[in-house]
Chains A and B, each alone.
Chain A
Amino acid sequence: MSERWRRELRRLEEATPTEGLLERARLGPTSTVPDRRTASPAVVVIVAFSLFAAAGALTWNAFGPRIGGTTDGVGSASRMSATLHGVSLEYPASWTLVDLWPLAGDIASWPEPGSVIDVPKDTPEHGGLPVLQLSNRDLGLGSACGAELNGGEAVLYVAASGGPYLIDAEGHPRWPATLTRADGPCGPGWYAYRESWLDTGNGSGEARPYLVYAGFGPDVPDADRDEVFAAFSTLSFSPENDFLYPPAESSPGYVQGTLEDQTSDTYVFSDVRIEEYPYRERSGDIRG
């Protein structure tokens, strides 16, 4: 180890934990930061609203554009990159990326905490297991799959799937790997069917199919439509580890990617608490 950065990094080993941390832990939890999705939607809305109200006008100004859905990704100079549950993509900085994986917990089942996902047979009706959703407007934390998109809304939706429903009677993928116009489980739009390979070691592996849906409102600007396809072109899926598991340590939330010239921060860093962000649930036609 000759590089200075490595030598300096080793100095972290000289730092020692403060004494008594375990004894302090034995006194019980104290933080209000939840480690899993514990709050009911109603409680979350109340907490979010309260925090939002308390934040005042400055916060409103800071967050308002995201809530109001008036952001315009067209021509945005900065772009974000993020990796969420193995799905990586780039998108305009002004767009909204939402971690939908907790919604998968409403569809799929896991035999016990920490166990591998057990995709139910009726998954097809739900358009796969929601993983993430990118949109030019803030559509809240619900899935737009199956919802009617309004006005200029543009959405890119990614779902991990159980696979079989995406195969036709002849065993062929129902949709090609590129976005193609079709009427699918999320409604009329554009669909792509893909598979990633999960190396399970010893030269073996498993195919992990996933579904991509692009949906547009009737008045979507061409530029926003192009941005959806551009984001799709950057999309990749490395289905390792966490996407298989229930959102036991997570919660639904907005994702903060980072500027392209820095890094893509994932899961832990991007697990923005919904209590810390004002948001709105879209009523009616959004289904989880």
Chain B
Amino acid sequence: VSDEERDFDAIWRDIGPTLWRAVLAYSGGRRDVADDAVAEAFARAIERDRQIREPRAYLYRVAFRIAAAELRRDGAAPERDVPLEDEHPLADLAPALRRLSPSQRAAVYLHYVADLPVRELASLMGTSSAAVRVHLMRGRRRLAELLGEDQPDE
């Protein structure tokens, strides 16, 4: 890592929105959790700057960890229903997402929407590819069940 300070504006543009949405999915649509976790992760990354070798992986891991801690602190369970406005883009999806585990939510979003390969996703989530495949398989199966459709072949 060079001695120059990192350009966190560029890092934010590169991964900020995707990370935020991933945490939003992970938390089952909790915007407050996504805001807090992502802002805190960036705050720590900015503070440590050159101590961090891979800021992208660092930001993902720290953001997920903080989100997990907030959810635990709130006693959030998959069944917990956080009301969303009717026009909210997740109004239909969020209840189904909340029936998945947090890791399943994050995995299906990052893989099927953000198009991250399994191996990269595993690295960012701090787990193994095998575990990610399990999350994806169970996540998409559960979503298909919850949304009243047949399980995809994939």
Contact = CB atoms under 8 A, between A and B. Distances in A.
Interface of A: 3-6, 8-18, 21-22, 24-31, 33, 35, 83, 85-86, 88, 112-115, 236, 238-243, 249-250, 258, 262-269, 271-273, 276
B116 interface: no
Contact of B65 (A12, A271, A276): A271
B133 to A, nearest CB: 10
B34 A12 contact: no
Contacts of A276: 69, 72
A61 B112 CA distance: 42
Given A24-B39, A31-B69, A264-B134, 9 more contacts: A25-B46, A33-B40, A33-B66, A114-B52, A238-B130, A242-B128, A263-B103, A265-B103, A272-B72
Contacts of B57: 114
A8 B35 contact: no
A236 B51 CA distance: 34
A26 B46 contact: yes
A266 to B, nearest CB: 4
B130 A14 contact: no
B63 to A, nearest CB: 10
Contacts of B113: 9-10, 12-13
Contacts of A11: 89-90, 92-93
B62 A35 contact: yes
B128 A268 contact: no
B137 to A, nearest CB: 9
Interface in B14-70: 16-17, 20-21, 24-25, 31, 34-36, 38-47, 51-54, 57-58, 61-62, 64-66, 68-70
27 contacts: A3-B149, A5-B140, A5-B144, A8-B93, A8-B143, A11-B90, A12-B113, A17-B16, A17-B17, A17-B38, A21-B12, A25-B43, A25-B45, A29-B47, A85-B128, A86-B128, A88-B130, A241-B122, A241-B123, A241-B128, A242-B126, A263-B104, A266-B128, A268-B64, A268-B126, A269-B68, A276-B72
A122 to B, nearest CB: 27
A29 B43 contact: yes
A83 B47 contact: no
B132 to A, nearest CB: 9
A262 B101 contact: yes
- Which of B20, B51, B126, B127 neighbours the largest number of chain A CB atoms within 10 Å of its CB? B127
A12 B68 contact: no
B61 A249 contact: yes
A86 B140 contact: no
Contacts of A28: 43, 46-47
